[in-house]
Amino acid sequence: MDNKKVKELKVSAIENGTVIDHIPSNAVFKVIRILKLEAFENMVLFATNLESKKYGKKGIVKVSNKFFAPEELNKIALVAPLASVIEIRDFQVRSKTIVEIPDKIKGIVKCFNPNCVTNKEEVSAIFVVADKETIRLKCHYCEKITTRETMEFR
C-alpha cells in the first residue's frame, strides 16, 4: 500500500442548477436565507469549513433545478463579496461569474434605526449602497447608514 495519502472531496454533482462557491464559512446560512432556500422544494446541498487553497476555509451551496436572476445573486455579495456563481446544465459548467454588490438593496436588510418607518410599519426597507468597499448602506427613508457590523437580514 502506498504511503501517500490522497484527499478527495466528493459532493454530489447536479445535472442542472446553480453552484455558489467561495462563500465565507460563517456566511453560508446567510446566503441560504438571502436566496430563500429554506423552503425550496428541490435539492439544496451546502457545506461549510471546506479546505480552500485560495481562502483557507470556505462554504458552498448547490441548488438543483434553480437559476437565479443576477439581482438575486448580487445580494449575496453583501456577505460573500468573493463568491462565484456557476450555472450547470446537463452536468456541464455553462457560465461562471463573480457576484457584484448592487447599487440598491430592497427587502433583505433591516434598517438598524429603530425609529425608521420600515421598523414601525409594513414598509420594505430600501437602501442605496453608499460605499461598496466597506459595505455602507444608506436608508432611503431615514437616511441612516447601516454598516456590515450593524447589518441584520430579514
Nearest to 60 by CA among 36, 98, 90, 32: 32
What does the alpha-carbon distance between residue 101 and residue 111 come to, in Å, rounded to a whole number? 18
* The pLDDT value given to residue 107: 87
What does the alpha-carbon distance between residue 112 and residue 70 come to, in Å, rounded to a whole number? 26
Task: State the chain's mean pLDDT as an integer.
Answer: 89
Model's pTM, two decimal places? 0.80
Cell of 76: 449575496
Contacts of 78 by beta carbon, 8 Å cutoff, 6+ apart: 34, 101, 105, 108, 109, 135, 148, 151
pLDDT at 116 over 90: yes
Give the tens place of pLDDT for each residue, 12-63. Answer: 789 999 999 999 999 999 999 989 999 999 999 999 999 888 778 999 999 9
pLDDT at 8 over 80: no
pLDDT at 4 over 60: no
The arithmetic mean of pLDDT across residues 95-114, rounded, is 92
Give me the percent of the chain exceeding a pLDDT of 70: 93
Right CATH number for 17-98 from 3.30.2270.10, 3.20.20.70, 3.30.56.10, 3.30.70.140? 3.30.70.140
* The pLDDT value given to residue 1: 43
The arithmetic mean of pLDDT across residues 114-132, rounded, is 95
The arithmetic mean of pLDDT across residues 74-100, rounded, is 93
Q: Binning pLDDT at 50, 70 and 90, where does residue 5 land?
A: very low
pLDDT at 3 over 50: no
Could you tell me the fold of the domain covering 104-153? SH3 type barrels. (2.30.30)
* The pLDDT value given to residue 44: 95
Q: Where are the domains of the chain?
A: 17-98, 104-153
